[in-house]
Amino acid sequence: MNVLNGESFSPPPIWLMRQAGRYLPEYRQTREKAGSFLDLCYTPDLATEVTLQPIRRYGFDAAILFSDILVIPDALNRGVHFTEGTGPEMTPIAVEDISCLDGKPIFPHLDPVIETVRRLRQELPEETTLLGFCGAPWTVATYMIAGHGTPDQAPARLFAYREPQAFRRLLHILADLSAEYLLAQLNAGADAVQIFDSWAGVLGEEEFEAFCIEPVRRIIARIRQEKPEAKIIAFAKGAGLLLKDYRHKTAADAIGLDWSVPLSFARDLQKEGPVQGNLDPMRVVAGGQALKDGIDRILDVLGQGPLIFNLGHGITPQAKPETVSELVRHIRESHIRERV
């Protein structure tokens, strides 16, 4: 939270995207108890447990709520389900369906998620930041339009070009619902929130402005009406040079960086405020010297400014828990190595 206020620390605070996930044996055991993935997200006892697992094991500086970016379309009765080996699927949305979403409530459907936030704040150590999150409207819309994930989000891009008014309306509805959802998390005890735009990298400059920046700006403006001091991290994966004005235009406190962002450019972004990232998740799979070299390069370039150390995207199931321990140890001993 101090870094989100612009302070710098050596070593920097650490958390990892997908830190509660399939690479942990304790997560896999809990997942088996749940039945389905969505049942795991909507059962506060189990969702609290998996959120706390990496905190117990590694002592990360932040815990992120265990949930999914698609719980909002699930609350909108879009038939969301998760199929092993293929990922999320739902009923593709048509133009005529969008107007039916106006005024549709997401609560009480998402009440169990908010209950998980309350329990986490009670159970986490006071010094551990609790992060809430949502999917950004563009990324959520890509799944709602295609009905599943695609490599280039062509269905959503075509929809946006062919039906610009309907698509803009969908983004506005999702932005307003996302703001409501994040406010509920903050009111329940989340210290800060992150907005995940996982598919920002498939868009051109004009589309990035309209589909990514504008909806996220709308979310943040709505949150700040009620909570002016709310801390918000915005993560637009693959946006590259388009991140130059992203913080200023969205009013996010910190910018998450994927591993493809050059560290020289990241340093320029850091001059404007906190950054988060951006180790390649494959270095965690590789371990050893590759892991240490990647960490050291980030700390060498970004370690003197406001930095939250993280991966450039989620930790993968192939990562070994002991390698994550190595990552945490190497970062936390960095200030000792500097003195030596």
When computed from its CA atoms, the radius of gyration of the chain, rounded to whole angstroms, is 19
* Tokens coding 37: 């993935």
Helix H or strand E encompassing 19: none
Report d(CA 289, CA 283) in Å as an integer: 9
Cα–Cα nearest to 133, from 63, 59, 212: 63
Of 39, 68, 97, 296, which one is the catalytic site residue?
Answer: 68
Q: Is 22 a catalytic residue?
A: yes
DSSP class of residue 92 equals P
Cβ-based neighbour number of residue 169 at 10 Å: 16
Of 23, 27, 31, 218, which one is the catalytic site residue?
Answer: 31
Of 23, 27, 42, 143, which one is the catalytic site residue?
Answer: 143
List, in order, residues 6 or more apart from 115 with CB less than 8 Å away. 44, 188
Cα–Cα nearest to 141, from 99, 175, 112: 175
Q: Is 143 a catalytic residue?
A: yes
Cα–Cα nearest to 259, from 276, 246, 273: 276
CB 134 within 8 A of CB 178: yes
* Tokens coding 32: 């088996």
* Tokens coding 22: 């399939």
Of 22, 169, 217, 267, which one is the catalytic site residue?
Answer: 22
CB 184 within 8 A of CB 107: yes
Q: Is 18 a catalytic residue?
A: yes
CB 281 within 8 A of CB 312: yes
CB 200 within 8 A of CB 256: no
Give the count of alpha carbons within 13 A of 84, CB side only. 5
Q: Is 31 a catalytic residue?
A: yes
Q: Helices in 189-258 by DSSP H: which ranges?
A: 205-207, 214-226, 246-250
Of 18, 119, 247, 283, which one is the catalytic site residue?
Answer: 18
Active site residues: 18, 22, 31, 68, 143
